[in-house]
Amino acid sequence: SGLPWGLRLRRVATAAAALLACLCQLPPVSATPAQAGSSRRPACEDSSRALPPNHSLRSTSNFPRFPRFFLSSRRAFLSFSSIGLIGGGLAKAGSQSPVAKPLSLGGPPMPSIPLGHAYGNKAAPIGIDVYLDFTCPFSRKMFTTLHESVIPALQKEFPDKVLIREFNQIQPWHPASTLVHEAALAAERLGGARAYERFSALVFENQASFFDDLLYEKSRKEVYEQLANLGEKAGVNKNDMIQLLMVKGLETPYEERDEHNAGNDITGLLKLYIKKSRKAGVHVSPTVFVNGMEDGMISSGWTVDQWIEHLRPLIQALS
Protein backbone atom coordinates (compact mmCIF):
# COMPACT_ATOMS: atom_id res chain seq x y z
CA SER A 1 0.00 0.00 0.00
CA GLY A 2 3.04 2.29 0.30
CA LEU A 3 2.47 3.02 3.99
CA PRO A 4 5.45 2.83 6.35
CA TRP A 5 5.58 -0.40 8.38
CA GLY A 6 5.35 1.52 11.64
CA LEU A 7 1.99 2.98 10.62
CA ARG A 8 0.75 -0.40 9.40
CA LEU A 9 1.60 -2.04 12.72
CA ARG A 10 -0.07 0.77 14.67
CA ARG A 11 -3.26 0.35 12.63
CA VAL A 12 -3.29 -3.43 13.15
CA ALA A 13 -2.77 -2.95 16.87
CA THR A 14 -5.54 -0.33 16.99
CA ALA A 15 -7.96 -2.72 15.31
CA ALA A 16 -7.01 -5.46 17.78
CA ALA A 17 -7.56 -3.11 20.71
CA ALA A 18 -10.94 -2.05 19.33
CA LEU A 19 -12.02 -5.68 18.91
CA LEU A 20 -10.92 -6.52 22.42
CA ALA A 21 -12.83 -3.53 23.79
CA CYS A 22 -15.96 -4.62 21.97
CA LEU A 23 -15.70 -8.09 23.49
CA CYS A 24 -15.58 -6.41 26.87
CA GLN A 25 -18.73 -4.42 26.01
CA LEU A 26 -16.91 -1.09 26.01
CA PRO A 27 -16.67 1.50 23.23
CA PRO A 28 -13.28 1.70 21.44
CA VAL A 29 -10.84 4.17 22.90
CA SER A 30 -10.67 7.38 20.89
CA ALA A 31 -7.84 9.86 20.75
CA THR A 32 -7.49 12.29 23.60
CA PRO A 33 -7.66 16.02 22.74
CA ALA A 34 -3.89 16.21 23.07
CA GLN A 35 -3.44 13.39 20.54
CA ALA A 36 -6.04 14.75 18.17
CA GLY A 37 -4.36 18.17 18.16
CA SER A 38 -7.43 20.04 17.02
CA SER A 39 -10.60 21.20 18.72
CA ARG A 40 -12.62 21.26 15.51
CA ARG A 41 -13.87 17.93 14.25
CA PRO A 42 -14.14 17.22 10.52
CA ALA A 43 -17.55 16.15 9.26
CA CYS A 44 -16.44 12.52 8.81
CA GLU A 45 -15.44 12.02 12.44
CA ASP A 46 -17.84 10.10 14.65
CA SER A 47 -17.71 11.91 17.98
CA SER A 48 -20.01 9.31 19.56
CA ARG A 49 -17.07 6.93 19.78
CA ALA A 50 -15.38 9.00 22.48
CA LEU A 51 -15.39 7.64 26.03
CA PRO A 52 -17.64 9.47 28.51
CA PRO A 53 -15.86 12.22 30.49
CA ASN A 54 -16.13 10.34 33.80
CA HIS A 55 -14.84 7.06 32.39
CA SER A 56 -11.65 5.67 33.90
CA LEU A 57 -9.46 3.20 32.06
CA ARG A 58 -8.57 1.66 35.41
CA SER A 59 -12.18 1.01 36.41
CA THR A 60 -13.39 -2.58 35.95
CA SER A 61 -16.62 -2.44 37.94
CA ASN A 62 -18.84 -2.73 34.86
CA PHE A 63 -16.83 -5.45 33.09
CA PRO A 64 -18.27 -8.91 32.49
CA ARG A 65 -16.51 -11.61 34.48
CA PHE A 66 -13.70 -12.81 32.27
CA PRO A 67 -10.65 -14.84 33.28
CA ARG A 68 -7.96 -12.76 35.01
CA PHE A 69 -5.49 -13.10 32.14
CA PHE A 70 -8.13 -11.76 29.73
CA LEU A 71 -8.74 -8.66 31.84
CA SER A 72 -5.00 -8.09 32.18
CA SER A 73 -4.56 -8.27 28.42
CA ARG A 74 -7.49 -5.93 27.95
CA ARG A 75 -6.00 -3.42 30.38
CA ALA A 76 -2.67 -3.54 28.61
CA PHE A 77 -4.24 -2.87 25.22
CA LEU A 78 -6.33 0.02 26.48
CA SER A 79 -3.47 1.55 28.43
CA PHE A 80 -1.14 1.44 25.44
CA SER A 81 -3.83 2.97 23.24
CA SER A 82 -4.53 5.77 25.71
CA ILE A 83 -0.90 6.92 25.76
CA GLY A 84 -0.50 6.62 22.00
CA LEU A 85 1.80 3.59 21.85
CA ILE A 86 -0.75 1.65 19.82
CA GLY A 87 -2.70 3.42 17.11
CA GLY A 88 -3.60 7.04 17.67
CA GLY A 89 -6.10 9.66 16.63
CA LEU A 90 -4.34 10.52 13.37
CA ALA A 91 -4.07 6.94 12.24
CA LYS A 92 -7.78 6.46 12.88
CA ALA A 93 -8.68 9.64 11.06
CA GLY A 94 -6.56 8.56 8.11
CA SER A 95 -8.18 5.11 8.00
CA GLN A 96 -11.72 6.52 8.15
CA SER A 97 -11.26 8.72 5.10
CA PRO A 98 -9.20 7.28 2.22
CA VAL A 99 -6.64 9.50 0.50
CA ALA A 100 -5.85 9.66 -3.18
CA LYS A 101 -3.04 7.57 -4.63
CA PRO A 102 -1.89 7.16 -8.24
CA LEU A 103 -2.92 3.82 -9.76
CA SER A 104 -2.08 2.32 -13.14
CA LEU A 105 -5.12 1.08 -15.05
CA GLY A 106 -3.14 0.13 -18.13
CA GLY A 107 -2.56 3.69 -19.31
CA PRO A 108 -1.44 6.90 -17.59
CA PRO A 109 -1.78 6.83 -13.77
CA MET A 110 -5.22 7.69 -12.41
CA PRO A 111 -6.20 8.82 -8.89
CA SER A 112 -7.64 6.07 -6.69
CA ILE A 113 -10.33 8.52 -5.50
CA PRO A 114 -11.21 12.05 -6.71
CA LEU A 115 -8.48 14.57 -6.02
CA GLY A 116 -8.98 17.47 -3.64
CA HIS A 117 -9.19 18.10 0.09
CA ALA A 118 -12.89 18.35 0.91
CA TYR A 119 -14.58 20.32 3.68
CA GLY A 120 -18.32 19.88 4.04
CA ASN A 121 -20.99 17.55 2.73
CA LYS A 122 -19.62 15.63 -0.26
CA ALA A 123 -23.14 15.38 -1.66
CA ALA A 124 -23.72 19.15 -1.43
CA PRO A 125 -25.42 20.68 -4.49
CA ILE A 126 -22.97 23.59 -4.66
CA GLY A 127 -19.26 22.99 -5.16
CA ILE A 128 -16.44 25.48 -4.61
CA ASP A 129 -13.00 24.46 -5.89
CA VAL A 130 -10.07 26.50 -4.59
CA TYR A 131 -6.53 26.21 -5.99
CA LEU A 132 -3.93 27.29 -3.43
CA ASP A 133 -0.14 27.42 -3.27
CA PHE A 134 1.64 27.22 0.08
CA THR A 135 4.25 29.76 -0.99
CA CYS A 136 1.72 32.37 -2.17
CA PRO A 137 0.81 35.16 0.31
CA PHE A 138 -2.62 35.57 -1.29
CA SER A 139 -3.31 31.86 -0.88
CA ARG A 140 -2.46 32.22 2.77
CA LYS A 141 -5.05 34.99 3.17
CA MET A 142 -7.74 32.94 1.45
CA PHE A 143 -6.94 29.73 3.35
CA THR A 144 -7.07 31.56 6.68
CA THR A 145 -10.41 33.21 5.89
CA LEU A 146 -11.91 29.97 4.62
CA HIS A 147 -10.91 27.84 7.60
CA GLU A 148 -11.38 30.37 10.37
CA SER A 149 -14.59 31.98 9.12
CA VAL A 150 -16.17 30.89 5.84
CA ILE A 151 -16.42 27.12 6.30
CA PRO A 152 -17.94 27.39 9.82
CA ALA A 153 -20.31 30.16 8.66
CA LEU A 154 -21.51 28.19 5.63
CA GLN A 155 -22.17 25.12 7.73
CA LYS A 156 -24.12 27.21 10.23
CA GLU A 157 -26.18 29.25 7.78
CA PHE A 158 -26.48 26.79 4.89
CA PRO A 159 -25.87 23.35 6.43
CA ASP A 160 -24.81 20.66 3.93
CA LYS A 161 -25.44 22.95 0.95
CA VAL A 162 -21.84 23.85 0.03
CA LEU A 163 -18.76 21.66 -0.45
CA ILE A 164 -15.36 23.37 -0.53
CA ARG A 165 -12.50 21.47 -2.11
CA GLU A 166 -8.90 22.65 -2.05
CA PHE A 167 -6.40 21.64 -4.71
CA ASN A 168 -2.62 21.83 -4.60
CA GLN A 169 -1.47 24.49 -7.06
CA ILE A 170 2.28 24.12 -7.57
CA GLN A 171 3.90 27.30 -8.89
CA PRO A 172 7.37 26.44 -10.26
CA TRP A 173 8.68 30.00 -10.20
CA HIS A 174 8.84 29.50 -6.42
CA PRO A 175 11.37 26.64 -6.10
CA ALA A 176 10.08 25.60 -2.66
CA SER A 177 6.52 25.19 -3.91
CA THR A 178 7.07 21.62 -5.09
CA LEU A 179 8.76 20.57 -1.86
CA VAL A 180 6.11 22.07 0.41
CA HIS A 181 3.23 20.51 -1.53
CA GLU A 182 5.02 17.14 -1.45
CA ALA A 183 5.26 17.41 2.33
CA ALA A 184 1.57 18.33 2.67
CA LEU A 185 0.53 15.32 0.61
CA ALA A 186 2.86 13.15 2.70
CA ALA A 187 1.17 14.42 5.86
CA GLU A 188 -2.20 13.50 4.39
CA ARG A 189 -1.04 10.01 3.47
CA LEU A 190 0.27 9.43 6.97
CA GLY A 191 -2.48 11.06 8.99
CA GLY A 192 -5.49 11.61 6.78
CA ALA A 193 -7.56 14.71 6.14
CA ARG A 194 -7.20 16.12 9.63
CA ALA A 195 -3.40 15.95 9.48
CA TYR A 196 -3.41 17.63 6.07
CA GLU A 197 -5.49 20.53 7.38
CA ARG A 198 -3.31 21.00 10.47
CA PHE A 199 -0.11 20.78 8.45
CA SER A 200 -1.44 23.27 5.91
CA ALA A 201 -2.28 25.73 8.66
CA LEU A 202 1.21 25.36 10.14
CA VAL A 203 2.89 25.91 6.77
CA PHE A 204 0.86 29.04 6.12
CA GLU A 205 1.67 30.32 9.62
CA ASN A 206 5.37 29.80 8.86
CA GLN A 207 5.13 30.72 5.20
CA ALA A 208 7.97 33.26 5.23
CA SER A 209 10.37 30.43 6.12
CA PHE A 210 9.78 28.96 2.65
CA PHE A 211 10.18 32.12 0.60
CA ASP A 212 12.84 32.26 -2.10
CA ASP A 213 15.36 34.42 -0.27
CA LEU A 214 15.50 32.39 2.97
CA LEU A 215 15.88 29.08 1.13
CA TYR A 216 18.43 30.24 -1.41
CA GLU A 217 21.37 28.57 0.35
CA LYS A 218 19.49 25.52 1.68
CA SER A 219 19.59 22.06 0.13
CA ARG A 220 16.54 20.01 -0.78
CA LYS A 221 17.30 17.69 2.12
CA GLU A 222 17.42 20.59 4.57
CA VAL A 223 14.06 21.89 3.37
CA TYR A 224 12.51 18.43 3.78
CA GLU A 225 13.89 18.30 7.33
CA GLN A 226 12.35 21.69 8.05
CA LEU A 227 9.00 20.53 6.69
CA ALA A 228 9.15 17.26 8.63
CA ASN A 229 9.53 19.28 11.84
CA LEU A 230 6.24 20.98 11.01
CA GLY A 231 4.76 17.58 10.22
CA GLU A 232 5.68 16.41 13.69
CA LYS A 233 3.86 19.42 15.15
CA ALA A 234 0.85 18.47 13.03
CA GLY A 235 0.84 15.05 14.64
CA VAL A 236 2.50 12.80 12.06
CA ASN A 237 5.68 10.82 12.52
CA LYS A 238 8.66 12.88 11.42
CA ASN A 239 10.75 9.92 10.27
CA ASP A 240 7.86 8.44 8.29
CA MET A 241 7.41 11.75 6.49
CA ILE A 242 11.10 11.96 5.65
CA GLN A 243 10.94 8.42 4.27
CA LEU A 244 8.10 9.38 1.93
CA LEU A 245 9.98 12.47 0.77
CA MET A 246 13.40 10.84 0.33
CA VAL A 247 14.53 10.51 -3.27
CA LYS A 248 14.30 6.88 -4.37
CA GLY A 249 17.44 4.83 -4.81
CA LEU A 250 19.81 6.76 -2.56
CA GLU A 251 20.58 3.64 -0.54
CA THR A 252 22.04 2.04 -3.70
CA PRO A 253 25.51 2.98 -4.99
CA TYR A 254 25.26 5.45 -7.85
CA GLU A 255 26.70 3.10 -10.47
CA GLU A 256 24.17 0.37 -9.58
CA ARG A 257 21.00 2.47 -9.71
CA ASP A 258 18.50 1.63 -12.44
CA GLU A 259 17.21 5.21 -12.50
CA HIS A 260 18.65 8.53 -11.39
CA ASN A 261 15.55 10.73 -11.63
CA ALA A 262 12.85 8.62 -9.97
CA GLY A 263 11.51 11.23 -7.55
CA ASN A 264 10.03 10.07 -4.24
CA ASP A 265 6.94 8.23 -2.98
CA ILE A 266 4.79 11.38 -3.38
CA THR A 267 5.92 12.32 -6.91
CA GLY A 268 3.18 10.32 -8.65
CA LEU A 269 0.39 12.01 -6.69
CA LEU A 270 1.97 15.43 -7.14
CA LYS A 271 1.93 14.90 -10.91
CA LEU A 272 -1.80 14.18 -10.79
CA TYR A 273 -2.47 17.47 -8.99
CA ILE A 274 -0.34 19.34 -11.52
CA LYS A 275 -2.23 17.66 -14.37
CA LYS A 276 -5.55 18.52 -12.69
CA SER A 277 -4.73 22.24 -12.50
CA ARG A 278 -3.37 22.31 -16.06
CA LYS A 279 -6.50 20.65 -17.44
CA ALA A 280 -8.59 23.20 -15.52
CA GLY A 281 -6.56 26.03 -17.05
CA VAL A 282 -5.30 27.31 -13.68
CA HIS A 283 -2.15 29.41 -13.85
CA VAL A 284 -1.86 31.35 -10.60
CA SER A 285 -3.17 31.07 -7.06
CA PRO A 286 -5.61 31.50 -5.60
CA THR A 287 -8.05 30.56 -8.33
CA VAL A 288 -11.66 29.71 -7.44
CA PHE A 289 -14.26 27.74 -9.37
CA VAL A 290 -17.96 27.81 -8.49
CA ASN A 291 -19.91 24.79 -9.77
CA GLY A 292 -17.17 24.05 -12.29
CA MET A 293 -16.79 27.58 -13.69
CA GLU A 294 -13.97 29.95 -12.80
CA ASP A 295 -15.24 32.85 -10.70
CA GLY A 296 -12.92 35.81 -11.17
CA MET A 297 -14.85 38.01 -8.74
CA ILE A 298 -13.78 36.14 -5.61
CA SER A 299 -10.73 37.75 -4.03
CA SER A 300 -8.24 36.64 -1.39
CA GLY A 301 -9.08 39.83 0.48
CA TRP A 302 -12.76 38.97 0.85
CA THR A 303 -14.35 38.82 4.29
CA VAL A 304 -16.69 36.06 5.41
CA ASP A 305 -19.68 38.36 4.81
CA GLN A 306 -18.63 38.90 1.20
CA TRP A 307 -18.34 35.15 0.68
CA ILE A 308 -21.77 34.51 2.15
CA GLU A 309 -23.51 37.24 0.15
CA HIS A 310 -21.80 36.10 -3.03
CA LEU A 311 -23.04 32.53 -2.58
CA ARG A 312 -26.50 33.39 -1.22
CA PRO A 313 -28.22 33.60 -4.67
CA LEU A 314 -26.99 30.07 -5.44
CA ILE A 315 -28.46 28.79 -2.17
CA GLN A 316 -31.76 30.56 -2.77
CA ALA A 317 -31.97 29.12 -6.28
CA LEU A 318 -32.11 25.63 -4.78
CA SER A 319 -35.53 26.20 -3.25
pLDDT per residue as tens digits for the range 220-267: 999 999 999 999 999 999 999 999 999 999 999 999 999 999 999 999
Helix (H), strand (E) at residue 178: helix 176-205
Name the strand (E) or helix (H) holding 313: helix 304-316
Contact at 8 Å (CB) between 119 and 154? no
From first to last of its 319 residues, what are the pLDDT tens digits of the chain? 455 555 555 555 656 655 554 444 444 444 443 344 433 333 333 333 333 334 333 333 343 443 443 334 434 433 333 333 333 333 333 335 789 999 988 888 999 999 999 999 999 999 999 999 999 999 999 999 999 999 999 999 999 999 999 999 999 999 999 999 999 999 999 999 999 999 999 999 999 999 999 999 999 999 999 999 999 999 999 999 999 999 999 999 999 999 999 999 999 999 999 999 999 999 999 999 999 999 999 999 999 999 999 999 999 999 8
What global pTM score does this model have?
0.70
Q: What is the pLDDT of residue 1?
A: 45
Q: What is the pLDDT of residue 98?
A: 86
**Is the Cα torsion angle 29, 30, 33, 37 positive or negative in sign?**
positive
Closest CA to 25 of 90, 71, 82, 79: 71
pLDDT tens digit string along 171-204?
999 999 999 999 999 999 999 999 999 999 999 9
96-100: long-range pairs with CB below 8 Å, 24+: 96/44, 96/45, 96/46, 96/192, 97/42, 97/44, 97/192, 97/193, 99/188, 99/189, 99/192, 99/193, 100/269, 100/272
